[in-house]
Structure 1
């Protein structure tokens, strides 16, 4: 089956071997990320997703903050492997920090009390869609990326470093950059275990 959207989805794969040479300008990459999030749907059109886009030294700084946060938590004899992994993320051209604005969530809970319990869940849907939209848009532009979750250990440090509003809750991090190694094939489980179709 030939489908433009599915072709783009197929390009979106995890890339751990990142470099700093983007195939597009930094300005265009930033605009691409913003537009992908802008176009991502959200429940009640809440637009609760927020992003901090870090390039170059600012991105490296973020991964140093992650190291500092993890160092007391990881046994010294194991930290070398952790540091190597974090350095691979810092080797890229940038990092997107994905946030959800809890003030938006609380406002919707107050406005639509009957759905109050669902808005935190729908907020998680929103950030997942935004992350997928950004990842796919980057892949379509020839930019490698992966999705990481070092929240909440780095939340406070990042909030202080970049003056992040207190209502923004960090949900994921996406290091991105040039593809410095081939991307492997993605394995799939058997369709019969995932899908049921009735007609």
Structure 2
């Protein structure tokens, strides 16, 4: 990786224009996802994160599933924009699905009852860190990605299609591919309104 962490963090953006053109090998994608899963922190070192990387036809399939689920929800007369959005995700090279293992979370709630209500929150926070890590690593390799949330409406079909454990709760979907268009402009609120330092 040629970029330092701060540069990568600054350059990580939401890309909606992506293609199926290869950027790095599938083995490299798997390596990046694996390193992120291993080294992203989790509360009590619970390691509750679960990740599924979909490539090729498997990637296409998740957006076909999502399209069909949405077709049953979105009125037919206004479905075209939804279809175009699904097609834009399907146009990418792959999708990363992020899950949290609820069996792990429940076990922590039972074993550390004083913190029981916090474990689902901490689980989501850990997942968010993992999403950022994967997103940034993909960006460093030359991919563009975006973060989507079609859960829970696709959860059952995703679990059935890939025979995933029922305890795996789908948190987010990240389609990625070679960028075909620049990301939109990003506005920043004044930093002095968002950051305070006391000495």
Q: What is the CA distance between 1:182 and its match in structure 2?
A: 2.0
- Residues 193 and 124 (structure 1 numbering): CA distance in 2 closer, same or farther, change over 3 Å? same
Could you say what secondary structure the match of 1:87 adopts?
Answer: helix
Q: Distance in 2 between matches of 1:173 and 1:16?
A: 13
Q: What is the CA distance between 1:127 and its match in structure 2?
A: 0.6
Q: Distance in 2 between matches of 1:69 and 1:107?
A: 32
Superposition pairs of residues 15-164 of structure 1, within 5 angstroms: 15-164=15-164
Q: What is the CA distance between 1:29 and its match in structure 2?
A: 1.0
Please list every run of at least 4 consecutive aligned residues from structure 1 whose deviation after the TM superposition is greater than 3 angstroms. Answer: none
Q: What is the CA distance between 1:130 and its match in structure 2?
A: 0.5
Q: Distance in 1 between matches of 2:105 and 2:49?
A: 10
Aligned length: 197
Q: Deviations over 1:100-150 (max 9, x none)?
A: 000000111111111111100000001100100000000111111000000
User: 1:22 touches 1:143 (CA, 8 Å); kept in 2?
Assistant: no
Could you say what secondary structure the match of 2:92 adopts?
Answer: coil
Q: What is the CA distance between 1:6 and its match in structure 2?
A: 1.1
User: 1:66 touches 1:154 (CA, 8 Å); kept in 2?
Assistant: yes
Q: What is the CA distance between 1:31 and its match in structure 2?
A: 1.5
Gaps in structure 2 of 5+ consecutive residues: none
User: 1:96 touches 1:175 (CA, 8 Å); kept in 2?
Assistant: yes
